[in-house]
C-alpha cells in the first residue's frame, strides 16, 4: 500500500490561504499530545490567549481560538449574538459579506444589507444613511475581503456603529498578521480570524474575541444558544478561571501550532511583520505592471496580503494556474462568484510575504503568459 503522504510536494502557497507554514509551526504540530485538562496544557492555553489579545489589540477576557476553521468563527459570533427577529445589518462587498448574510439569516435574524461593488470598499456615507434609518442589534463588516482584495475602513465604520448603539462585528480572517488589527481602538464587540492566512499556521482554528458588551448580550439571551458546539457560555468555562470545566476536547496539537505561530508574529514584531507584507505587495505590483498585468482594486483600498489582478485578455485562467502549480510548484487563487474568470488572487500572507517568493512568482508568471 503506497503512502500518499510521501508524495506531497512542498508548494509555494500564494493563493487566498493557506499560506506557507513556518518550520517552528510544523515542529509544534508534532509535539507530544497531552491531556486537554492537563495543567501544563492549560498553561499553554493561557499563553495562547495572552498572545492573541496582543495580536488583535484587545483587553477582552473572552479571547481564544474556536475549535473549527475561520468560518466557524463567523458562525460562533452570529449564533451566540443573534436571537430570532434581531435586526442585523451586513456591509457587503464580496463573498464573505454575502456569507455573513446567509449565516445570520439561517439563525432567524432580520437581515438588511448594503451592497457595494465588488472590488470597491464600503462607503461611510451609505453606512451612516442606513444607520439613521433603523436601529440595529448588530452591524457586521469584513476587514479584508479575501474574495476581492479590498480593505474596508473598519475604524471609521466602528465610530458610526458605536454611536448607533449596535454591537459591532468584524471579520479579520485575512487581515490578522498582515495589517494592523486593533479591536478595542475600533470599538469592535466581536471579532474572529483564521490561522491559515497571515499567521502562517495550517487551517483548523478560529481565533475569536468578544467584548464585555457582547458577553453581556449573550448572557441576557432569552433562549439557549441554538448550537451546543459553539456555545460561548459553556466554552468560556474551559478557557477561563481557576477550575476549567470540560466542554469538548480541544484540538490540542493545533493549539500548539497556533502558540508557535503567534510567538513568531510577536517576536518578529507586529510593525515589522506588517511592513514585510507591504514591501512584498509593492514589489509584486511593480513586477506585475512590468508584465502588463493590472491590479483590480484601486490603490487606496488594496490589501497587501491579497492581490486581486485582472487576468490579461486572451490568457487561459485555469490553464495558467494549473501550469504554475504543476511546473513551478506555485499556487495562486481563482476568482469567486462574479469575479470567476476575471481575476486571479495572489496571496502574500505571513511566511509567504518575502521578496524571493514574489520574484519566483513573477518569473513563473512571465513564462506562463508569454
| Residues 243-282, interacting with its own copies (CB under 8 A) | 246-254, 256-257, 259-260, 263, 267
CB of 202 to its own copies, least distance (A): 4
Residue 42 engages its own copies in binding (rule: CB under 8 A): no
C-alpha cell at position 62: 473572552
Give the chain as a 3 state SS string: CCCHHHHCCCCEEECCCCCCCCHHHHHHHCCCCCCCCCHHHHHHHHHHHHHHHHHHCCCCCEEEEECCCHHHHHHHHHHHHCCCCCEEEEEECCHHHHHHHHHHHHCCCEEEEEECCCCCCCCHHHHHHHHHHCCCCEEEEECEECCCCEECCHHHHHHHHHHHCCEEEEECCCCECCECCCHHHHCCCEEECCCCCCCCCCCCCEEEEECHHHHHHHHCCCCCCCCCCCCHHHHHHHHCCCCCCCCCCCCHHHHHHHHHHHHHHHHHCHHHHHHHHHHHHHHHHHHHHHCCCCECCCHHHECCCEEEEECCCCCCHHHHHHHHHHHHCEEEEECCHHHCCCEEEEECCHHHCCHHHHHHHHHHHHHHHC
Which parts of 60-79 interact with its own copies (CB under 8 A)?
67-72, 74-75, 79
Query: Which one of residues 92, 192, 331, 352 is an interface residue with its own copies (CB under 8 A)?
Result: 331
Q: How far is the CB of 86 from its own copies (least distance, A)?
A: 14
| Residue closer to its own copies, measured from CB, 42 or 369 | 42
Q: Which of residues 113-172 bind its own copies (CB under 8 A)?
A: none
Shortest Å distance, C-beta 40 to its own copies:
7
Nearer CB in complex with its own copies: 146/301:
146
| Contacts (CB under 8 A) with its own copies, residues 339-358 | none
Q: Is 47 in the site for its own copies (CB under 8 A)?
A: yes
Residues in contact with its own copies, counted by CB under 8 A, come to a total of: 76
User: CB of 134: closest distance to its own copies in angstroms?
Assistant: 24
Among 50, 59, 102, 233, binds its own copies (CB under 8 A): 102
Contacts (CB under 8 A) with its own copies, residues 171-230: 194, 196, 202-204, 224-229
Among the listed ranges 43-51, 115-123, 178-186, 308-316, the one in contact with its own copies (CB under 8 A) is 43-51
Q: Which is nearer to its own copies, 74 or 140 (CB)?
A: 74
Q: Which stretch binds its own copies (CB under 8 A): 9-17, 122-130, 151-159, 293-301?
A: 9-17
Please, which residue, 183 or 250, has the CB nearer to its own copies?
Answer: 250
| Nearer of residues 252 and 284 to its own copies, judged by Cβ | 252
Amino acid at each position: 500500500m503506497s503512502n500518499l503522504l510521501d508524495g506531497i510536494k512542498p508548494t509555494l502557497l500564494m493563493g487566498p490561504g493557506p499560506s506557507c507554514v513556518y518550520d517552528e509551526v510544523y515542529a509544534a504540530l508534532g509535539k507530544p499530545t497531552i491531556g486537554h485538562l492537563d495543567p501544563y496544557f492549560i498553561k499553554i492555553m493561557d499563553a495562547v490567549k495572552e498572545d492573541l489579545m496582543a495580536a488583535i489589540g484587545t483587553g477582552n477576557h473572552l479571547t481564544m481560538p474556536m475549535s473549527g476553521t475561520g468560518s466557524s468563527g463567523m458562525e460562533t459570533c452570529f449564533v451566540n449574538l443573534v436571537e430570532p427577529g434581531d435586526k442585523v445589518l451586513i456591509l457587503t462587498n464580496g463573498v464573505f459579506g454575502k456569507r455573513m448574510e446567509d449565516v445570520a439569516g439561517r439563525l432567524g435574524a432580520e437581515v438588511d444589507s448594503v451592497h457595494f461593488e465588488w472590488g470597491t470598499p464600503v462607503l461611510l456615507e451609505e453606512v451612516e444613511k442606513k444607520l439613521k434609518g433603523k436601529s440595529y442589534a448588530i452591524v457586521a463588516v469584513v476587514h479584508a475581503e479575501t474574495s476581492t482584495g479590498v480593505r474596508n475602513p473598519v475604524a471609521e465604520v466602528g465610530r458610526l456603529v458605536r454611536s448607533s448603539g449596535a454591537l459591532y462585528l468584524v471579520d479579520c480572517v485575512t487581515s490578522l498578521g498582515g495589517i494592523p488589527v486593533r479591536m478595542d481602538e475600533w470599538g469592535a464587540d466581536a471579532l474572529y480570524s483564521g490561522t491559515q492566512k497571515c499567521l502562517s499556521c495550517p487551517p483548523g482554528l478560529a481565533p475569536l474575541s468578544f467584548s464585555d458588551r457582547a458577553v453581556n448580550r449573550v448572557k441576557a439571551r432569552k433562549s439557549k444558544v441554538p448550537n451546543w458546539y459553539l456555545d460561548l457560555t459553556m466554552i468560556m468555562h474551559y478557557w477561563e478561571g481557576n477550575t476549567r470545566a470540560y466542554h469538548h476536547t480541544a484540538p490540542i496539537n493545533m493549539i500548539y501550532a497556533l502558540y508557535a505561530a503567534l510567538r513568531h508574529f510577536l517576536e518578529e514584531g507586529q510593525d515589522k511583520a506588517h511592513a514585510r507584507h507591504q514591501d512584498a505587495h509593492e514589489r509584486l505590483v511593480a513586477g506585475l505592471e512590468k508584465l502588463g498585468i493590472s491590479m483590480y482594486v484601486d490603490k487606496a483600498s488594496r490589501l497587501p496580503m491579497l492581490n486581486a489582478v485582472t487576468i490579461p485578455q486572451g490568457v487561459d485562467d485555469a490553464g495558467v494556474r494549473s501550469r504554475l502549480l504543476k511546473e513551478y510548484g506555485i499556487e495562486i487563487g481563482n476568482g469567486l462568484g462574479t469575479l470567476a474568470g476575471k481575476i486571479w488572487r495572489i496571496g502574500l500572507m505571513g511566511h509567504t510575504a518575502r521578496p524571493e517568493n514574489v520574484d519566483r512568482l513573477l518569473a513563473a508568471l512571465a513564462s506562463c503568459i508569454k
